[in-house]
Structure 1
Amino acid sequence: MSSTKSMAKCRCVSKLWSSIIRSPYYKVLFPTKPPDPPRLLFILVDQGKLFFYTSPQPKNLNPDEGSSSLVATLHHRMPIKDRMKLSGPVNGLFCQQHVGDDSIVLVVSNPITGESMILPKLTTKKVDEAKVYLGYDPIEKQFKVLSITWVCGEKDPQHQVLTLENGGRDLSWRNIECCINGQTEVGSKGKCNINGVLYYPTRVDKKKMIVCFDVRSEIFDLISWRSCNLINYKGKLGAVDNDDDHFVVWVLVEREWSKHVYEKSLPWRTLRASYGNIVGVTDRDEVVCSPKYGVKSPFYICYYNLESNSVVRVRVEGPGFECLKWSLLYMFSNYVEHVKLM
């Protein structure tokens, strides 16, 4: 059992234990181990439940062997009733947006420990549409939730921020100013958090752009759009285009995009139709792809090495994976489990 999971169980013993673990002196007296290496995170939606799995990133993939395998560990499960959207992961946490017929419920959760926190209702009334993003300020070590809502009769959306602090007590939304006018759409996919900046796609006066939201200063900025597949590429904002014959990797350097084109090998072209969902790029320049539509048993993911122009299929096994029948799956690479308890 991981140290984070053990601490979560200890906090449930009594209020005294919980206050001791939350104390700033706890880390001095009982320092935790260094963060674990990034892992793969799988969130499976099946039969009204969410299942959270993690597994190590596969190492030393050999394309000559044809395929490889890894074992995923089931950490936590939770029921869901309404339609749900996910924002994250950010430093190990998620923000879940549960959309009912007449309500929106926001929950921040740790999929490893099972802890969760229900957020206050948005203060905006008569909301036509709401987009919610989770961000993290590594300097102040604060999580913030950004809400973007379109109100009936108003042209520009309203922006609100909620800071997660005080152990979830006395939380409230704050209205903030956004200098970007003419936003007609905000993307629910393609968000990315890097070094305290939240990136997400938008449309401004019908033109595709990318918003940069500095989590600490709460200031917005715009950069040019390249793709909706935004990724963390070795600590920089990246974007990946995936066409029939090439991978095109864009990397943002000092507000300018550098372009890298990689011609696909023939084996990948036969797999692209089934594994067209890009979930990230590893430090070894491997594009990680998952099934594009539903998942079923046996379940495979693909690693495409840009430098060697080779592809390896990796079979994922775990409790319940043998019963998959076209279920919905969210997959994230470079997931870090070592997080501060809520």
Structure 2
Amino acid sequence: MEDLPSNIMVDILSRLPVKTIIHCRCVCKKWRNIVSESHFANIHLSRSPAGLMIWHQSEQLMTGYCKPGVLKWVEISDDDHRLLHDPVMSLDLSLAPVFQNVQIQQVGSVNGLLCLWKFGPEGDNTFICNPITREYMILPRQKYYREGYAIIVYGFGVGLQTKEYKVIRTFQGDIPPNQYGSTSRPSLLEAEVFTLGTGQWRSLGHVPYWLSGWDGPFLYGKAHWMVVDQDAPEKLCTFDFDKETFQLFPSPPSEAIEDSSIHFQSLAVLNGCLSQSDTYDSQFMIWVMKEYGMKKSWHKEVVTKLLGISVS
């Protein structure tokens, strides 16, 4: 095996299941270097079955914080799309000293890597975690607005052209802070970006739109968020990880239910398509963008009502 050309070894190892790959890292230094390369990760990812990362949050502690929880990666059956019972891996974040007695929020996922945001009394930190290898890196401490309250919105992705992995986060708040519960547009809308491998955050300056949500789902080289600004012609916004620019994005038709007392919205990636869910007190619906970037391709995929469910 040692005499085989490197490309042949990569081809062989990339066909092994994840659990075996983890053990291969311990065989020899050469194998460890091979399976640690990003090129190998991309090949193995293209040959691996679809999977789902499930985050089990733990109970709240007496201190008021929750345990970080457990990450489980479950593969999806190719035949009937069922979740396989035996998880590929399980990682208890509370076993890592750096994650103890803090709150953890998953704010991004790309090619098997997770972006985690840790926040607590001592400030916040951002981590990039590989749950399969149980490795993580701590990003340098970001600029922190102590002058006033700021909501932080994240995005994690990789450029389609540069192939660079980046973390984008926006600060949205007021200096001085508004009264609690204020719905006026924040006076502070700024962003920073971190390119993995550079060791530092870069300021992107002013963000043109008021964004909603903890994180922005990644698809086609862009992060996606909902826009809060009432006068915006579209209610979605993207961040291009290659160009590092924000831009409005076609949103699904607005169908407000007048007699509903609640309306929650969220974005996700469903079967490789951008999707938006709308939750009311009497109805739940999922919109799916069949052709990326085409406003007319938004299709109402699922509608759940009190009397039943309809799928179109």
Q: Give TM class, smaller chain.
A: 0.5 to 0.7
Name structure 2 gaps, 5 residues minimum.
1-16, 60-66, 177-186, 253-263
Other structure's SS at 1:120 match:
coil
Q: Which moved more, 1:204-213 or 1:94-103?
A: 204-213
Residues 43-102 of structure 1: CA deviation (Å, up to 9, x unaligned):
11225242221222245559xxxxx87403143222142122111221111111111124
Contact 1:178 1:219 in 2 (8 A): no
| Aligned equivalents of 1:5, 1:139: Cα separation in 2 | 29
Alpha-carbon distance in structure 2 between the residues aligned to 1:117 and 1:84? 15
Identify if the C-alpha distance between structure 1 residues 262 and 196 changes in structure 2 by more than 3 Å, giving closer, same or farther: closer
The answer to whether the 8 Å contact 1:248/1:259 transfers is: no
In structure 2, the CA distance between the partners of 1:140 and 1:153, relative to structure 1 (3 Å rule), is: same
2:170 partner letter: I
Q: Give the number of equivalent residue pairs.
A: 254
Counterpart of 1:71? 85
1:57 aligns with 2:66: no
Q: Which runs of 5+ in 1 are unaligned?
A: 63-67, 273-303, 308-342
> Are residues 239 and 125 of structure 1, via their aligned partners in 2, closer, same or farther at CA, if it must alter by over 3 Å?
closer
Q: CA deviation at 1:149?
A: 1.5
* Greater RCO structure (CA 8 Å; 6+ sep): 1
Within the alignment, does 1:162 sit opposite 2:219 as a pair?
no
Counterpart check, 1:171 vs 2:199: yes
- Aligned with 2:228: secondary structure? strand
Question: For residues 4 and 171 of structure 1, do their structure 2 counterparts lie closer, same or farther at Cα, with a shift above 3 Å needed?
Answer: farther
- 1:247–1:151 distance in 2 versus 1, CA, 3 Å: closer
**1:131 and 2:153 are equivalent in the alignment:** yes
Alpha-carbon distance in structure 2 between the residues aligned to 1:100 and 1:255: 41
Answer whether contact 1:137 1:216 (CA < 8 A) is retained: yes
Contact 2:275 2:286 in 1 (8 A): no
Q: Alignment partner for residue 249 of structure 2, among 218, 223, 228?
A: 223
Instruction: Name the CA distance, whole Å, in 1 between partners of 2:45 and 2:286.
Output: 38
Higher strand share: 1
Structure 1 CA distance, aligned partners of 2:285 and 2:244?
34
Q: Separation in 2 of the partners of 1:225 and 1:138? A: 23
Correspondence 1:40 to 2:52: yes
Q: Structure 1 residues 257, 187: closer, same or farther in 2, change over 3 A?
A: farther
1:188 and 2:214 matched: yes
* Cα distance, 1:174 vs structure 2: 0.3
For 1:227-306, list aligned pairs within 5 A.
228-241=265-278, 244=282, 247-251=285-289, 253-261=292-300, 269=307, 306=311
State the Cα deviation string for residues 231-252 of structure 1 (Å, max 9, x = none).
3345442323456567452416
Q: Which amino acid aligns with 1:171?
A: G
- Retained in 1: the 8 A contact 2:127–2:136? yes
1:72 maps to amino acid: D
User: Structure 2-normalised TM-score?
Assistant: 0.66
Does the C-alpha gap of structure 1 residues 5 and 50 become closer, same or farther in structure 2, counting only changes over 3 Å? farther
TM-score norm. by structure 1 comes to 0.61
Is 1:5 the counterpart of 2:25? The answer is no
Hey, what's the Cα distance between the residues in 1 that align with 2:303 and 2:172? Answer: 41
The change in CA–CA distance for 1:76 and 1:245 in structure 2 (over 3 A counts) is closer
Alignment partner of 1:143 is 2:165: yes
Q: Structure 1 CA distance, aligned partners of 2:269 and 2:135?
A: 26
> 1:96: which partner in 2?
116
The residue type equivalent to 1:38 in the other structure is A
Q: Contact between 2:154 and 2:168, CA under 8 Å: does it hold in 1?
A: yes
Q: Which residue of 2 aligns with 1:278?
A: none
Question: What RMSD, in angstroms, separates the aligned Cα atoms of the two structures?
Answer: 3.7
- Residue correspondence of structure 1 range 199-210 to structure 2 within 5 A: 199-204=224-229, 209-210=235-236
Residues 146 and 162 in structure 1, CA contact (< 8 A), matched pair in contact too? yes
Given the superposition, is the C-alpha separation of residues 7 and 160 from structure 1 closer, same or farther in structure 2, using an over 3 Å criterion?
Answer: farther
In structure 1, what is the equivalent of residue 238 of structure 2?
Answer: 212
Contact 1:151 1:158 in 2 (8 A): no
Find the residue that maps to 2:188 and give its secondary structure: coil
User: Residues 212 and 100 of structure 1: is their aligned pair in 2 closer, same or farther, counting only changes over 3 Å?
Assistant: same
- Aligned-partner SS, 1:6: helix
Aligned counterpart, 1:86: 106
- Secondary structure of 1:229's counterpart equals strand
| Counterpart-to-counterpart distance in 2, 1:131 and 1:188 | 5
Matched position secondary structure for 1:146: strand
Q: Please give the alpha-carbon distance, in whole angstroms, between the structure 2 residues aligned to 1:265 and 1:148.
A: 34
